[in-house]
Amino acid sequence: MPETLSDALAEVRALLLRPDLTRAVAAGRRKGQTPSVVRAELRPVSLKGGPKLQIVTNDGARPFTRNVAFGDEAADAVDALLAEPFGNWHVESPGGTVQVRITKKGDAQVHRAVSEVSEAAAPASHDRAKEHLLAPDDPLFTEIGGGAAKRRQVDAFLRALAATLPDELPAHLRVVDLGCGNAYLTFAAYRYLASRGVALDVVGVDVREDQRVRNTALAERLGCADEVRFVAGTILDADVERADVVLALHACDTATDEALARAVEWEASWVLAAPCCHHDLAAQLRRQAVPSPFEGLGRHGILRERFADVLTDTVRASLLRLHGYRVEVVEFIDSAHTPRNLLIRARHTGTAPTAAVREEYTALTGGFHIEPALEKLLSRS
């Protein structure tokens, strides 16, 4: 429902000035108006001089960062940004996410999502309606099964998808879910995107033929077999022409690398991959001593494994940047739900990598003597 712009911006203002703000982004522009900067990002930071609100604005050429003290200084800076004719505000705080989109008529369309963590911690009397992108009692789940935990996970992934895609979607989208398994996410993504009025061509890929047969029968029962189909095969070689949106939820080990490699091959506009187990670099680090002066990282098995996890996803993000993607690595669900809660989300911009990005990658892989699976996959053609 549209709300008045002043009410919506007052809600945003209050959230921006709270020290527990997680992050906020203002971008886009209102009809016929142009803000003085193309984007502004705000987050609280802890500096030597105490807590500050960090504001990074970008004029389209370069970012400009300033840190302002909470209180009058932050209020003035926030008011100045709220006065800019941005088309969208996206505000994340521990309580959830508030998204405001200013319509052509100048109204505010407000979308509020309560965070999983705050939902769990919220008292029963919490007065804000629990908002799911797909209701847990959606008949879809009755048909495809899946416990409450899986429904929460899929809903959290959908929220990340919603936060990644632009407000104005193309009329038609090709979506691929790689390593789709039982296809909870495949069908949920289909349902969510269809509800946004997009014409869809959704493909689920899994190496298991029995999954293809089961999921195809499900698509027929759900009446969406014309738009949702399933392919049996490896992610790397599956017969899929291209995709605009690539999803991969817990594709095992290097199957996530296969998914990222295909996304790069297709120049997919949006990629959301939540990695699963990481064995590739862990095995490489086990086989050799970690180079000096970082030997300590390899001394204890558990630390080496965790370091290999971080190194793997760092390298993946870095390689995506090298291939023209803007990348973020975030948690898409709380770690109590699953320790595999990282999400690599990337948007294709086509920007050529800078020398610094290239050097960073070479220093990382050269420094640790590693040859990541994704690098090998990307250089295979």
Ligand X SMILES: C[S@@+](CC[C@H](N)C(=O)[O-])C[C@H]1O[C@@H](n2cnc3c(N)ncnc32)[C@H](O)[C@@H]1O
| Binding-site ranges for ligand X (CB under 6 A) | 179-182, 184-185, 205-208, 234-235, 249-252, 255, 258, 276
- Which string of DSSP letters, residue by residue, matches 190-215? HHHHHHTT-EEEEEEEES-HHHHHHH
Q: How far is the CB of 204 from ligand X (least distance, A)?
A: 9
Task: Please name the residue that has the structure tokens 């209102």.
Answer: 30
By beta-carbon proximity to ligand X, the closer residue of 276 and 315 is: 276
Q: How far is the CB of 250 from ligand X (least distance, A)?
A: 4
Q: How far is the CB of 255 from ligand X (least distance, A)?
A: 3
Q: HSE, CB side, 13 Å, CA atoms: give it for residue 142.
A: 6
Q: How far is the CB of 177 from ligand X (least distance, A)?
A: 7
Cβ-proximal residues to 94 (8 Å cutoff; 6+ apart), any chain: 20, 22, 115, 117, 118
- Which string of DSSP letters, residue by residue, matches 308-332? HHHHHHHHHHHHHHHTTEEEEEEES
By beta-carbon proximity to ligand X, the closer residue of 184 and 266 is: 184
CA distance 141 to 156: 15
Q: How far is the CB of 313 from ligand X (least distance, A)?
A: 17
Backbone CA torsion sign across 298, 300, 303, 305: positive
Which residue in the shown chain puts its C-beta closest to ligand X? 181
- Which string of DSSP letters, residue by residue, matches 114-138? E-HHHHHHS-TT--SPP--SS-TT-
By beta-carbon proximity to ligand X, the closer residue of 126 and 242 is: 242
By beta-carbon proximity to ligand X, the closer residue of 6 and 234 is: 234
By beta-carbon proximity to ligand X, the closer residue of 187 and 368 is: 187
Q: How far is the CB of 153 from ligand X (least distance, A)?
A: 7
Q: How far is the CB of 235 from ligand X (least distance, A)?
A: 4
Q: How large is the angle between the packed helices 255-266 and 301-322, nearest 10 degrees? A: 10
* Longest CA span, the chain: 63
By beta-carbon proximity to ligand X, the closer residue of 90 and 262 is: 262
Q: How far is the CB of 185 from ligand X (least distance, A)?
A: 6
Whether omega for the bond prior to residue 293 falls within 30 degrees of 0, making it cis, is yes
By beta-carbon proximity to ligand X, the closer residue of 234 and 351 is: 234
Q: Which two tokens stand for residue 369?
A: 């003597």
Contact 217, 147 (CB under 8 A): no
Which residue type sits at 331? E
Q: How far is the CB of 207 from ligand X (least distance, A)?
A: 4
In three-state secondary structure terms, 85 is coil
Q: Which two tokens stand for residue 128?
A: 């804000």
By beta-carbon proximity to ligand X, the closer residue of 47 and 283 is: 283
Helix (H) or strand (E) holding 149: helix 148-164
By beta-carbon proximity to ligand X, the closer residue of 251 and 317 is: 251
